[in-house]
Structure 1
Amino acid sequence: KNAYYKTDSNYTQLETLPNIDINIKCGNSLISRFSLEADLRVALNRNNCSVETYRNAVQTYRNAENREQKRAMNKLIDNIKSNFKTTLGLSDPNKTKLRQLEGEVYNLQNQTLLLEESEDEKKIRGQRINQLNNEINKLKVEIEEIENGKIYENAFEWRFEFPEVLNDDGVFVGFDVVIGNPPYIRAEELGDLKIYLKNKFSTFVTAGDIFYYFYELSYSILVNQGKFCFINNTYDKTTAGKTLRDFVIKNFTIEKYLDMTSVVVFDEATTYPIIFMASKSDNINESFDFLKVNKTIYNDKKNIFNAEYFSRISHQSLLADVWHFRNDFEHELLSRLNQNKRIIDIFGKCYRGILTGLNEAFIINQEISNDQELKPVFDGKDIKKWFTPSTSKWMIIFASKSTQLNFGKLTEEDALQKMKKQYANIFNHLLNFQKKAKKRYDKGEYWWELRNCTYYHLFPQPKIIFPNLQNSNKFCFDESGTYLNAPAVFLPISVKEKYLLGILNSQVIWYFLRNICVVRSGGYIEVKPQYFEQIPIPKISHCDQDILTQLVDQILNAKKSDPNADTTTLETEIDQMVYQLYNLTAEEIEIIESSSG
């Protein structure tokens, strides 16, 4: 449609729309042949054209009254853009170098000499010509690969497409506003584009998300104090996101940050994004509005515009390695919690489950033999809060170098024959996966062996187990000797230390973990060992340990009898006791309990 009915005419008069199709551009905006800093004045002078002429052509196109005028302006605009590309192409550094090398060869081949050359001089001149010709051939190939390369098929030239953002000398001034929803493409899917991105963008990291580069591009094309707003995946605590966090703090002043990782924004996609709004400025002395959008807020979208739900966060608080969005009161609360000893200092380190490298081969759903190499195993998704019923899965564990210990040093074929004879049922299964098992990185000396693990002996001991992804506390006590599949984690403890389970499943610890762990899809947090080991544990008297242990035992007994048993009253009692152990105030308890909404 090219017209609409005007409201003030009671929808009886038409108003013609401008030809805005010229504003719709298509291309890969991350890829450009020509720098934003390249001098356009040469191109303008050579073609007897000015930026004003270009702007006027675009404006005339928008307001063209007929198809002929529109076509004429479109032809003029295409000619101007084509001339820009041709002229700027001549100033390409590679082409400039090529012309210099070709000129040097011409001079060497056609030089006039007053005295006849000696044989040695002819030889040296010939060698130099050959050397230059080799350089020329290499450079021609490089230029041809660049110009014909698929990577430039949809290259986007910002200055050619938007004359409105150039000054009268053709210098790129920039846009006032950039708004975007960058594509969701995993780093491993970028292919050859990664080489280009690595050379062009300072925010490049091998495991980085493609939206990192749109942030940097937006900075490049914005005017000073220009506004920037994106919706994209969170990067506040990820290792790969460190380069982008540093770039943002250095170059942008954040104005609003909406964390929507705990709600489903797009039904058709499994992304859980943030909305990030900032200006091109490096004023880190300001504070900004932050909103953690939970389901209650999101159910009534008007809440997102209600200032009462927002917290003011200082830019200065984001100067650490990871970003924590806390107001002063929350910052003080976490500081007080961290005054206690860490769990690793009291109970020792935790351990990751076993990494098979090929779960379909080494984890099975039936007990196919009585061999001791077959162990009951939990996946992270099997683990329940407090107590997990018996498993119906088994892991095949041939430890690294165990074959050699049993049979001595043998060729793989000889070792395989002996293993097939001794473990017939297991190998009837494993042989179906021989090719895949050989290709995996995580393996032992032979393809049926698992990678080296120094703590197999800890799995049969009493332990606290937990999945690495959690949307609420899911710490469980296990004394059944069940093994764990990575990336689930466990902490060996003695039975008398069972009270620790009550603390870990409390609201205090859930609040703490949500503040330090990386958030994944659906509001899940990734409780990696390095985060778990930071958990602060208060001093607990023997009397309080006994009380907590009794409460934990009551919950475990209830869950053993009925996995769906309602233990809310007992859990609330534990929460209240844990608040006292950490000496929390009523205000601090309110912060913790309200944050779980």
Structure 2
Amino acid sequence: MQTEDVLHRLPDQLIYGLTKDERFFNVALELGITWINRILFLKLLEGQLITYHQGNKEYRFLNTETINDFDELFKLFHKVLAVNLGERSEAIKTQYSRIPYLNSSLFEISELEDQTIKINSLDNSGHLELIGTTILKYIKKKATSLPTLNYLFQFLDAYDFASEGAEDVQEDNKTIINASVLGKVFEKINGYKDGSIFTPAFITMYMCKASIRLAVVEKFNDAKKWKIKQFDELYNKIDDKKEANEIINSLKICDPAVGSGHFLVSALNEIIAIKSELGILMDKNGKTLRDIKAEVIDDELYVYDIETFDQIKYQVPSTKTITTRYNFGGDTFDINKKTNSEKQRVFETLFHEKQTIIENCLFGVDINPNSVKICRLRLWIELLKNAYYKAETNFTELETLPNIDINIKCGNSLLSRFALDADLSKALKSIKYDVKAYRGFVNAYKNEKSREVKRGLQKIIDTIKTDFRTEIGNNDPKQIKLSKLSGDLYNLLKQGKLFELDSKQKKLQKEKQTKLEAEITKLSKEIEEIKSNAIYKNAFEWRFEFPEVLNNNGEFEGFDVIIGNPPYIRHEEIKHLKPQLEKDFTVFNSSADILTYFFELGNKILKPKGSLSFIVSNKFFKVSYGDNLRSYLIQNTLLQQIIEFDKVNVFDEATVKVAIVQFKKEKLSKTFTYLDVLAMPKNLETIVNEEGKEYEQALFNNGQWIFQSESLWKIYHKINEHGTALSGWDLKISRGLLTGFNEAFLLDEETKNRLIKEDENSEKIIKRLIRGREVEKYQANFQNTYLIFIPKGYTIKRNLPKDNINYVSEPTPRYGNMEIDTAWDWLKDNYPAVAKHLRPFKASAEKRQDKGDYWWELRACDYYDDFEKPKLIWKRIGSKLRFSYDESGTYTLDSTCIATGKHLKYLVGVLNSKLIENELNRFAPKTGTGDLIISVQALSPLQIPIPTPEQETKMNELVDKIIAQKQQGEGSKANEAKIDKMVYQLYHITPEEQKLIEEK
């Protein structure tokens, strides 16, 4: 790519990165994923063909004997797979006679390939080194590298792409590659940067089953005017199987951050299993598959004979008819049928059921174009698994795959120019197609095999959407107001031409004209800014992108199910989106992770009574940035399930603690099921049913989401009622300082004394220091550790003459510039002992990030002065809660936090009490090992009663006594018990409630 300098051919280079290197990398990644998609699809096809033909190895084609270079691979992609059987050249037909035509979409030259390079541009002479852990160990004994294409084919051959489960006989005990494994591979390749994490199979399987079955109940209730509540109630009520299929096929399920498509694949399998369970899985002639059961096991669709439990496996039916003679009641009769004909019927049914569901029920959006491609591929693979040879071709051609790409779209789900209730009525009157026609073009596209016709349909669809954009824009309030102002200006100027105006009238007209022109200019600028706003570049228009969720009047109706695993992206990484997110979302908080906005989006695009199920970080349950979201969910949805994995790592790739949150779009307050999963479950559904607890949604109307008994809830509400959040106190909470190199800057008692003895000036820049492990209740256990304290700016400022305007008598952080040698000479002259001590650490200290202007200085920090003040000190992360009071000017390391401000002695007493210890244990976030994280965010929402003068005096006296007792080595339990009792009284906690807290 660099040789041909292909970047200049891209119409918009910025979407691939800001720098040239970024662009080359991202273009290469997208091309690589496109090519790997095709190769993996073909590898699965190859395995399928071999299985279908009873292990016939002549159906192998992905090897260097057949594809010996990238030119041949290009031919396979674009002259074989992209071309219908009848249109292939004679040479191609001969060379690739066993390769079927399935769908050209995956193998058409992409827009990016057209703009940059195609696979035949790759160098055939390139080699790849065999890594130490390679699966190709038998080759590594003979060679250290292989030609690229040979390496790829050998690597793929080391896995089994033909088996569907462990019960299959696997050649050479190869690892099975199924669709789920492929999904995980793709998520790892593609999700490294956009926050997506592969969701384990047991999670997607459970979420799909719980949410889709609920949606199916709602669909039947709506269509049949029933009032059933549980899925099981459907069994005995269905009397029209065709109608039941139509009702289920009307489901609309969407993943707004679709990633590799794992949730949509799970949803596809679940819907097939639902139809099988309800006994309505029927072939094209309306005959039920009576002796066949389809069931989801380990997130894979398992189809088996209900008598033998044998999995149904397809083999090409024989063209010969076999006659079987039967005797019944003394009569003899013959039945003629082809071998494997029942399996043929099953696979035809499964293929077309999957096709119907994919085309009508499954929708996805993702900001990453590579994810979109991968999702489409995975859905094609699901269809490929049930591909069958067509009887009308004498079982020589496979059924072709539909164009499912139109249901999986690329865009930023969270950003839209147009509101869901934007008026389409005028747009529908002014364009020549209505919603029915729009929907018809989309449906026609899905099954069109001609490339030219497909392009024509896509052009019509794009034109309709462009017309919608234009007409909605014209009906925007700002645009209407601009038109009115322009009309007013025209009439004003016209009036001046029709009638002679006197000087007073002319002056008045001029003033009106000036005002109108200013308003028009201002409004025109605002409209233009909105149109040209780069933030909308990838905006996704839910209002009209999916005609399947519009009614015939063009009104947005919404989806039945929203499901997924929203991306894990911290708020620091979405700064550019925050202004627009604040305008569009009521749950906005400047510190909120991006996943919070997906809840409100999901609720907006749901139908009334539709279901949403997300697996997300559970941090928003308790932290302050989740306040708006928690309030929104309680007030606008009907919670159904919250399944928390606080003590289990669900994701291999991330230690984030997660929860499944499921709700209905309904403004009701009832009970919901909660479960805290303590160990990785074998069957999540069983555990939820057996161990889940019911909670009243109304209890969660204010504050954090804490799941506990009713008695503890009363205590929690008392704490909220009588306390004031620490964020509202006159406190400044900061983190301890970071040296970046403790070995150089921390001193023991002996070294401190030696440096002061060598140069008494050293004492000015040596400070007492406390580390996290030395923090105890009420008073820290000082271990004679000291800090060389030379903050950023100290060297420069202290080196300036007193008459310089930048001179200050005390060191404070400051940016500046001074030659290194001159600065070092100054340090040696003024602090020779410290300079001598630091000199051996120069090389390491220079490499650290946390330094000031020079390597001997600490990093910039605007609260160094706070360490000199009276303060609270506590350990940031630990298994025990301990708060110390300090007024000795001791500094602390970053393993601690400090707080300065008012009421400090009172606060150290309250914070060390049993009640507050219980509170922090209850809601403070925890590490993977269970240690508490007492950060600024954890303490800010803590509710502490503001004391009366009498209460504060009493508390301060007790704290002083405890500190004195600790200094003298005496016991302080009696006074600490008095503080516990006093704190209980501050919150009006009863003796019974005290007992409950202390037992807990």
Tell whether the structures are fold-level matches, with TM greater than 0.5: yes
Superposed, which structure 2 residues align to 1:399-478 within 5 Å?
412-413=806-807, 415=809, 433-434=852-853, 442-443=862-863, 450-451=865-866, 454-455=869-870, 466-470=874-878, 472-473=879-880, 475=882
Superposed, which structure 2 residues align to 1:160-559 within 5 Å?
160-233=544-617, 234-284=619-669, 286-294=670-678, 297-298=679-680, 300-303=681-684, 305-306=686-687, 307-328=689-710, 331=713, 359-360=739-740, 364-366=745-747, 369-370=755-756, 371=763, 373-380=765-772, 390=783, 394=787, 396=789, 412-413=806-807, 415=809, 433-434=852-853, 442-443=862-863, 450-451=865-866, 454-455=869-870, 466-470=874-878, 472-473=879-880, 475=882, 483-485=891-893, 487-488=896-897, 512-519=919-926, 523-527=930-934, 531=942
Which residue does the alignment assign to 2:440? 56
Aligned-partner SS, 1:321: coil
Distance in structure 1 (CA, Å) of the matches to 2:775 and 2:546: 56
Residue identity opposite 1:55 in structure 2: R
Cα root mean square deviation, aligned: 5.1
Q: Is the 8 A contact 2:612 2:663 kept in 1?
A: yes
Distance in structure 1 (CA, Å) of the matches to 2:603 and 2:614: 12
User: 1:397 offset after TM fit, Å?
Assistant: 8.9
Residue identity opposite 2:627 in structure 1: K
Q: Is the 8 A contact 1:236 1:323 kept in 2?
A: yes
Distance in structure 2 (CA, Å) of the matches to 1:65 and 1:315: 52
- Structure showing greater relative contact order (alpha-carbon pairs closer than 8 Å, 6 or more residues apart): 1
Residue identity opposite 2:691 in structure 1: Y
Distance in structure 2 (CA, Å) of the matches to 1:134 and 1:71: 46
Cα deviations by residue, 1:29-53 (Å, 9 ceiling, x for unpaired) = 1111111111112111211222111
Aligned-partner SS, 1:140: helix
Which residue does the alignment assign to 1:120? 504
User: 1:98 offset after TM fit, Å?
Assistant: 2.3
- Specify the structure having the higher radius of gyration (Cα): 2
Change (3 A) 1:25 1:425: farther
User: 1:244 offset after TM fit, Å?
Assistant: 1.0
Aligned-partner SS, 1:147: helix
Residue identity opposite 1:175 in structure 2: F
Alignment match of 2:493 (pick from 81, 89, 109): 109
Superposed, which structure 2 residues align to 1:44-83 within 5 Å?
44-83=428-467
Percentage of pairs with the same residue: 31
Q: Is the 8 A contact 1:312 1:327 kept in 2?
A: no
Which residue does the alignment assign to 2:483? 99
Cα deviations by residue, 1:127-153 (Å, 9 ceiling, x for unpaired) = 332332233223222222211111110
Distance in structure 1 (CA, Å) of the matches to 2:458 and 2:709: 54
Aligned-partner SS, 2:625: coil
User: 1:511 offset after TM fit, Å?
Assistant: 5.7
User: 1:186 offset after TM fit, Å?
Assistant: 2.3
Q: Is the 8 A contact 2:611 2:662 kept in 1?
A: yes
Change (3 A) 1:266 1:50: same
Distance in structure 2 (CA, Å) of the matches to 1:220 and 1:168: 20
Superposed, which structure 2 residues align to 1:13-32 within 5 Å?
14-15=387-388, 16=399, 17-32=401-416
Q: In structure 2, list runs of 5 or more residues that go unmatched.
A: 1-40, 53-302, 304-310, 317-343, 345-386, 389-398, 724-728, 757-762, 792-796, 813-825, 839-844, 946-964, 970-989
Q: Is the 8 A contact 1:30 1:217 kept in 2?
A: yes
User: 1:108 offset after TM fit, Å?
Assistant: 2.8
TM-score of the superposition, structure 1-length normalised? Answer: 0.70
Aligned-partner SS, 1:94: helix
Change (3 A) 1:162 1:239: same
Q: Is the 8 A contact 2:646 2:658 kept in 1?
A: yes
Change (3 A) 1:513 1:249: same
Change (3 A) 1:41 1:99: same
Change (3 A) 1:590 1:427: closer
Cα deviations by residue, 1:439-480 (Å, 9 ceiling, x for unpaired) = 95724xxxxx62475316xx9xxxxx742333x32549999x
Distance in structure 1 (CA, Å) of the matches to 2:892 and 2:713: 35
Residue identity opposite 1:177 in structure 2: V
Cα deviations by residue, 1:71-123 (Å, 9 ceiling, x for unpaired) = 33322222211211122121122222222222233333333556522233323
Q: In structure 1, list runs of 5 or more residues that go unmatched.
A: 343-348, 444-448, 460-464, 535-548, 554-581, 593-597
Change (3 A) 1:225 1:241: same
Q: Is the 8 A contact 2:768 2:784 kept in 1?
A: yes
Q: Is the 8 A contact 1:263 1:522 kept in 2?
A: no
Decide which moves more: 424-433 or 166-175. 424-433
Distance in structure 2 (CA, Å) of the matches to 1:42 and 1:202: 29
Change (3 A) 1:168 1:358: same
Distance in structure 1 (CA, Å) of the matches to 2:431 and 2:561: 31
How many pairs does the alignment contain? 511
Distance in structure 1 (CA, Å) of the matches to 2:784 and 2:997: 37
Q: Is the 8 A contact 2:738 2:893 kept in 1?
A: no
Q: Is the 8 A contact 2:875 2:897 kept in 1?
A: yes
Q: Is the 8 A contact 1:519 1:525 kept in 2?
A: yes
Cα deviations by residue, 1:517-572 (Å, 9 ceiling, x for unpaired) = 345676543335575979xxxxxxxxxxxxxx9xxx9xxxxxxxxxxxxxxxxxxx
Distance in structure 2 (CA, Å) of the matches to 1:121 and 1:20: 67
